[in-house]
Amino acid sequence: QVQLVESGGGLVQAGGSLRLSCVASGRTLSSLAMGWFRQAPGKEREFVAISWSGGITFYADSVKGRFTISRDNAKNTVYLQMNSLKPEDTAVYYCAARTDCCSGYGRYERYNYWGQGTQVTASS
């Protein structure tokens, strides 16, 4: 069983930055693909970014060039650096892990484990 705990959310003005962290326990991070999803009120959960265990990353078009996913396997932690935040980035952000590869990385149902979520609010 894998447990995921996110932190780092908060309130920031549009154009600002935040860094989210997700600490994994129960399994070594190097064996997991780690993703970030977000869900705004009244909307479906949407893919943000993924870091495969080999280091390859993919991003949603809406965050490409502004967000960066990274991992520190020694600390069993994955990060999401969010720059140039926009009001439309406001959502609850979830860390997720999957044990298989590789199709359907943008589909939330393909992930095995989820964190509790952390609120990110970018005010205009």
Q: Can you read off the two tokens belonging to residue 77?
A: 């932690």
Categorize the per-residue pLDDT at 98 as very low, low, confident or very high, splitting at 50, 70 and 90. Answer: very high
Q: How many C-beta atoms surround the C-beta of residue 65 within 10 A? A: 9
Q: Can you read off the two tokens belonging to residue 73?
A: 């396997």
Triad 27, 31, 34: Cα angle to 5°: 90
pLDDT in tens, 13-43: 999 999 999 999 999 998 999 999 999 999 9
Q: Output the average pLDDT for the chain.
A: 95
